[in-house]
Every structure is written in structure tokens, then in C-alpha cells.
Amino acid sequence: MSGPLEGRIVLDMSRVLAGPWAGQLLADLGARVIKIERPVSGDDTRGWGPPWLEDATGNPREAAYYLCANRGKQSLAVDIAHADGQALVRSLAEVADILLENFKVGGLKRYGLDYASLAKRNPRLIGCSITGFGQDGPYAHRAGYDFVIQAMGGLMSVTGEPDGMPMKTGVAITDVMTGLYATIGVLAALDERERTGRGRHVDVALLDVQVATLANQALNTLVSGRDPQRHGNAHPNIVPYQAFACADGYLVLTVGNDGQFARLAELLGHPEWAADPSYATNGARVTNRERLVPLISECLLRRNRDDWLADFEVRSIPAGPINSVSEALSDPQIRHRGMVASLERDGMSIPQVANPLRFDGQSQTSRTPPPSLGQDSDSVLRGMGLSDEDIARLRQEGIIS
């Protein structure tokens, strides 16, 4: 499947999630992404199981974690600690458009594979370095992990029940968001290169991304001078905007304006709430949430969840069920949109969650499955002009696999 980045070459020297997420997105958009991995072990996430995808005989093959972020790529397993391995990567960088890497600051320089060194050989190369704390500053030397960054960047302080322990999110959301910001950065640099003819180095730090994506919570703090408190499933700025229990389950109610609240009040049998100065406006409802929310909770407990949701739908009151992951993946809207897919490789069906971008009505999701380790080493090297004898020697010496 072609895409807007068809013909572009990405050298993906990243591992785990943030960098590979960016690489997968670029692959979905049509770029040729060559994933550089360590021989024998490969990307760390190949071993991050269970759960494992099993082959036809029931033997574990690959971790689900790895499979979530490496669709559309070629795998070249090469030892960059060896001079011959470094030479191979340099040759690839000379024809690449984009370099993705998430080594610690200075980690690639000792191999002569840092962006500054590679850009001397290819001034059009766009480099993107993804680290925990950025290329400079007092923490630049530290390794970055999503969990630590959620803690340091303030996200955990606003996540969880008011009287409970601060909580991380259920997904490594800082890694995912960093992958998205990295993609935006390299695409902007790619556009600029069309005018200047020269590449750029994009510096993306997990901590920077985490702080940037605090969004309204950061501005709440800067404007008020006070730290926001944890509200559990409630919203600090909107009421009612939280989870509620029904007779047989849970739903979320997200009333975003006063008109919606008036319709809700009428449905719940209390139209007088919409005229009460204590509840008529969102600001008043936020101020008086401790009185209003229990009243709404009492009403919702009287009926089953789906009955309430049907009535909300008719009255254009935004709400939804709290689904499990399997329920979400089975939702008719998700299925209609083609968000759950599968790719075939080596006789295995590899489940995938699709790229949410659609171009002219077509899903922009690569049909190439995540590669096995070193799957494309031979074909990539042959494309670089190496002979079968050269490839055999490199493999015998453990430089590739």
C-alpha cells in the first residue's frame, strides 16, 4: 500500500515504545522503515511477555508488546559495536531521509553513529533523538522510563482517587505521546527540507512531552497558583463530568454545557435544578459539586446502565459505558471503522490495532506485519550491494543475524 511518505527511508535505531511508535506511524504513512536491532536478542520488547503470540504448534513466538509498535518495518540485525556493523549503518544513513534513535545522550557518538557525525556524510538527513530528559540540562544523563516520567512530570499527582495513592495511567501514555510528537517534528523538518535542502536535528524528551500534555491542569496551576487535586473519575473544571454507578454497572456522564445539564435535570425528574442558581451554570456546579453529584448519583442508581444510555442518546446528553478492553475492541463502531485487523506472517495471524488516520476514506495502516528478528537482513544488505559471500562472512562473524 502506498502512502504520502512513499519513497522516504527511515533508519529506526530505537527500541521499546516511544521511538518504535514513531517508526510504525511513519511506516503506516508509506515510508520504508529499516529497524536496526541487536543480533540474537533484538528489541527489548521481543522478550516482554507473556502474553505471547503462539505459532501453529502452540509454541510462544513473540511478545504482544513488541507486536504493538513495529508493523510495516524491515528488521536488520547488526552489531553496531563492531566496525563492520558501524560501516553498514553509515552506508544506510547516507541514503536515508530520517534517523530515529533513543540511545542515552552520547550513546551513539562512541560508535560514530550520532546525528552530527552522520549528517556530515548526508546533510539532508533528519535526525530525531528521543530521550527521557533531553539533550541538555542537569538530568540529561539519566535514562528515562515512562513510569518515572509520569511521576516526575505531575501526571500521577492528578490521577487516582482523592484519598488514594497517586496513580499512573493504564497505558504508557507518555511514551505514546512522545512518539506522536517525534513524528510531528520529523514531518515538519521533512517539509522544511524541501525549501532549504538541509536536514534538522529534532530533540524530543519524555519529560518535556509529559509537562506539555498536562494541558488544562498545567494552566490551572499557573493561573491559580495552587496544585490541582486528584478527583478520581471527576473533572476539575466541569460538573457533572465523571463516572457514575447504575443499578447494574457503570457509565460516564460528560455534561459539557448548561443546555445539556438542563436536559439531564429534566430526564432525572428534577427540572428545577436547571433554574437553581446553585446549579444553573457550570461554574456554579463546580462550586457546589459536593451537593449536586450525590443527588445525580442517587437518581442513576434506580435504573440499569443501558436504559439510561438509551435515554441519554435520545436527548443528546453525552455519555458512554465503561467498557473493558475486549468490549471496546468488539464495539460495533470500532469494528465498523476497521480498527481491529490482522496480518499474516509465517503461517501466523498477527492481530493489530489499526492506524486511526484515514486518507480519502482509506485506512492508512501498513499491511506488512511486524518482522521477526533479522528477517530482512539479507535483502537489505543485498540492496546495499553486498554479495552473498559478504553476507555469509558477516553472519559467521556474528556481526549480523
Say which residues have a Cβ less than 8 Å from residue 109's Cβ, sequence separation at least 6: 116, 117
Which helix (DSSP H) or strand (DSSP E) does residue 330 occupy?
helix 325-330
Query: Which cell is 271 given?
Result: 427540572
Q: Crossing angle of helices 173-196/18-28, nearest 10°?
A: 50
Query: Which cell is 225 given?
Result: 497558583
- Reference 90, options 38, 13, 149; nearest CA is 13
φ/ψ of residue 52, rounded to 5: -115, 145
Instruction: Give yes or no for a cis peptide into 240 (omega within 30° of 0).
Output: yes
What whole-number distance in Å separates Cα of residue 325 and Cα of residue 290? 31
What whole-number distance in Å separates Cα of residue 125 and Cα of residue 128? 10
What whole-number distance in Å separates Cα of residue 34 and Cα of residue 27? 9
Given the residues 175, 208, 276, 331, the one annotated as active site? 175
- Reference 22, options 108, 134, 126, 107; nearest CA is 126
Query: Which cell is 330 given?
Result: 468488539
Query: Which cell is 347 given?
Result: 503461517
What whole-number distance in Å separates Cα of residue 188 and Cα of residue 55? 41
Active site residue 390: no
Q: What secondary structure does DSSP assign to 7-58, as a single string?
A: T-EEEEE--SSHHHHHHHHHHHTT-EEEEEE-TTT-SGGGG--SSEEE-TTS
φ/ψ of residue 346, rounded to 5: 55, 40
Contact present, 398 and 39 (Cβ < 8 Å): yes
Q: Which residues does the annotation mark as catalytic?
A: 175
